[in-house]
Amino acid sequence: MSDPTRDIRIGDTERNQALQVLGEHMSAGRIDIDEYGERSAKISTAKTRGELMALFYDLPDPRPQFAAPMAMYPEPARPARRWEANVVPVAGIAVVLVFFFLVKNPLIFLLVPAVAILWAQWNGRRR
């Protein structure tokens, strides 16, 4: 079974690390200067992890290390509950009913923006 991470594209960071590791192998006498030149040229043109690792198939450790691949799709957002969108409108209706049947002071309408502000603050902390 083939490794699915072999097709992941690499960047300059991975190429630079591979060149450094290849230099360690040359310093240890495992490859000569001509082979270092050939392999380093291939490293600079490698596009995938598989192409890069193929240049180290006959060499012992150290080998280039790769970070874990990032997810291709972002994590889904927390699904909104339907009732959350209705909190402020319900508060507005409740304030109107209280105004007409219980309290005749128009200052009670200040409860609607207060509920909206408090709900936004509380809802923002949960995310």
Q: Is residue 67 part of a domain?
A: no
What is the rounded CA–CA span in Å between residue 109 and residue 98? 10
Cα-based angle 40, 46, 49 (whole degrees, multiple of 5): 115
Cis peptide before 62 (omega within 30 of 0): yes
Half-sphere exposure of 39 (CA within 13 A, CB side): 24
Higher pLDDT, 123 or 105: 105
The verdict on residue 70 lying in a domain is: no
Summarize the confidence of residues 62-72 as an average pLDDT: 78
Determine, yes or no, domain membership for 50. yes
Domain annotation covers residue 68: no
Assess whether 86 and 50 both reside in one domain: no
Whether the CA torsion 36, 38, 44, 49 is positive or negative: it is negative
Number of domains comprising the chain: 2
Q: Is residue 49, in this structure, part of any structural domain at all?
A: yes
DSSP, res 116: H
Q: Is residue 127 over pLDDT 60? A: no
Tens digit of each residue's pLDDT (9 = 90 or more) over 79-90: 656 666 777 788
The whole-chain average pLDDT of the chain stands at 84
The last residue of one of the domains, among 54, 74, 96, is 54
89 shares its domain with 49: no
Residue 64, Cβ density class (10 Å: 0-12 exposed, 13-18 middle, ≥19 buried): buried
In a domain, 62, yes or no: no
| Mean pLDDT in residue range 100-107 | 85
Say if 63 falls within a structural domain: no
Among 20, 79, 31, smallest CA distance to 58 is for 31
pLDDT confidence of residue 83: 67
The residues pairing with 9 across neighbouring beta strands, listed in sequence order, are: 48
Query: In terms of residue numbers, what domain contains 25?
Result: 4-54
Answer yes or no: is 75 within a domain.
Answer: no
